[in-house]
Amino acid sequence: MTESEFGTLACLEDTHHLACLFARHLEPGQFLALCGDLGAGKTTLTRFLTQQLGCRTLATSPTFSLFQHYEGGRLPVLHADLYRLGSGAEVFELGWEEMLGDYEGGVVVVEWADKFEETWPPDFLRIDAAYSDDQESRVLEFSAQGVRSRRLLEDLKTSWGSK
Ligand SMILES: Nc1ncnc2c1ncn2[C@@H]1O[C@H](COP(=O)(O)OP(=O)(O)OP(=O)(O)O)[C@@H](O)[C@H]1O
Ligand SMILES: [Mg+2]
């Protein structure tokens, strides 16, 4: 596993910039595990990502449905929010494996993914977002497992470093 302190998102513009880099470097089949407290910025990053990929509608915080599909962009996006689910078994009962299979040509973005790590595929990029000490910014740490995710992390670090 490659772990890395990625950097700080000081404002929404930084989150937007990171989403642009994701949109440029993401490859089909990527699994993004978004972790971090309430309000850490998971939905915001997902929303900017759907925008930058060119999806027809933009991700919002799911209120009723646990899973949303965003199409029409460079890659389709499955956006899941596991906050309200009680167990990994529940996720599987909802047809999780089939959904992941359907998104082999797209991107899967999961909020509160760390609640049920047993639902992750072997190749994943984990993004931990936390509030900074002054509560204004968000501090990100990434961990990558698998060839695709490690390559993505390297690409993101290189392009983020040269911003
Ligand atoms: N980099 C950032 N800098 C400053 N504010 C941010 C940043 N990212 C997100 N925010 C703000 O934080 C608030 C919460 O963001 P968001 O809804 O994306 O969090 P979340 O992690 O999805 O929360 P939840 O756990 O409830 O799903 C929003 O008002 C958003 O504008
Ligand atoms: Mg959210």
**Using one digit for the tens of pLDDT, what is the confidence trace for 82-121?**
999 999 999 999 999 999 999 999 999 999 999 999 999 9
**Given the CA of residue 81, which atom of ligand 1 is nearest to it?**
27
**Given the CA of residue 37, which atom of ligand 1 is nearest to it?**
25
2: pLDDT strictly greater than 90: no
CA of 154 to the centre of ligand 2 (A): 26
* Predicted local distance difference test score (pLDDT) of residue 63: 66
**Given the CA of residue 46, which atom of ligand 1 is nearest to it?**
18
CA of 8 to the centre of ligand 1 (A): 14
151: pLDDT strictly greater than 80: yes
* Predicted local distance difference test score (pLDDT) of residue 135: 87
Mean pLDDT of the chain: 95
Q: Give the residue carrying structure tokens 């389709």.
A: 76
Torsion from C-alpha of 135, 37, 63, 56, nearest 10 degrees: 70
